[in-house]
Amino acid sequence: MQVCGKLYVVATPIGNLKDISFRGLDILKSVHSIAAEDTRHSGSLLKHYSITTPMVSLHSHNEAARTEKIIQWLHQGHDIALISDAGTPLISDPGCYLTQAAHKENIPVVPIPGASALTTALCASGLPVKGFIFEGFLPAKAKARRDQLMALAREPRTLVFYEAPHRIVPMVEDMLAIFGAERVAVIARELTKRFETIKRAPLDELQAWLVADANQQRGEFVVMIEGYQGPTSSGKSYDATEVLTILLKQLPVKQAAQLTADITGEKKNALYKLALSISDKNAQ
């Protein structure tokens, strides 16, 4: 009987090319093929380490079709490595369909650990990591993003998000409106790269710092927020989202936002946007 091959899920660097394990390199050199999210992008990593293994593309648009071919190779006894553009495959990246298919076929799935922006950011954040919630990317549309943040407002565990540069400012502004000025957050930007920055501050300070410097809005981001710890230390025991939700039952959006700003001390503009989002949701 033909012995099937192994599917290796190999972590690659998130910036600094030295952040790959000896074992990861050995596997990439020895497998039959490497399934890569973007073969051109991964080409630079392979070139850097003089790896000449053939690559096939496997991305969100062709994962199902490509999986069929890869499973065939595995059944023929060939080992295959799965990599993504950066970090650990499947963490906000393709590969779930392929690994599921391999399990269904009793093909061994072997993880080769290494970098991920998630763990790299968390370990430098100074936030509790005993338990945490990884949300990946928030929805691109403002209303859906705010709805998701509102649903997380009372989550006591550390929250972790990925974000793209063109959405980092609106995202942090929404967080300020929904979680409140005093909640501590951390922005981890360009990890392991030349402009690596890890900035930790209460959300009002963090938002002001981000908006004041366009350079801090470039690159790749992980945003982490401390979990809800109950009423704030300043003695303000009002949660902006809750106050707004109650006031919106009786008042127009503008007035509800103004009163919530007076009660909670949060910024009126941000509350106005949040109020629009809540009243849209209530209207549905």
Q: Which of 73, 162, 179, 272 binds ligand SAM (CB under 6 A)?
A: 162
Toward ligand SAM, which CB reaches closer, 32 or 193? 193
Exposed e or buried b per residue across 231-249, where buried means at least 16 C-beta atoms within 10 angstroms of its C-beta: ebeeebeebbbebbbebbe
Residue placing its CB nearer to ligand SAM in the complex, 84 or 241: 84
Residue 81 dihedral angles phi and psi, to the nearest 5°: -110, 140
Comparing CB distances to ligand SAM, the nearer of 82 and 247 is 82
CB of 88 to ligand SAM, least distance (A): 4
Residues 186-225 that bind ligand SAM (CB under 6 A): 188-193, 220-222
Distance CA 163, CA 220 (A): 7
How far, in Å, CA of 228 to CA of 70, rounded? 44
**Rounded to the nearest whole angstrom, what is the least distance from the CB of residue 121 to ligand SAM in the complex?**
6
Which of 42, 67, 88, 99 forms a contact with ligand SAM (CB under 6 A)?
Answer: 88
Secondary-structure breakdown of the chain: helix, strand, coil percentages, each rounded to the nearest 5: 45, 20, 40
CB of 212 to ligand SAM, least distance (A): 20
For residue 129, with 0-12 CB atoms within 10 Å meaning exposed, 13-18 middle and 19 or more buried, which class applies?
middle
- Per the structure block, which two tokens stand in for 178? 């929904």
Tell me which residue of 265, 270, 279, 166 sits closest to 218, measured CA to CA: 166
169 lies in the site for ligand SAM, by CB under 6 A: no
State which of residues 21, 53, 57, 92 lies at the interface with ligand SAM (CB under 6 A): 92
Q: Could you list the residues that contact ligand SAM (CB under 6 A)?
A: 14-15, 84, 86-88, 91-93, 116-118, 162-164, 188-193, 220-222
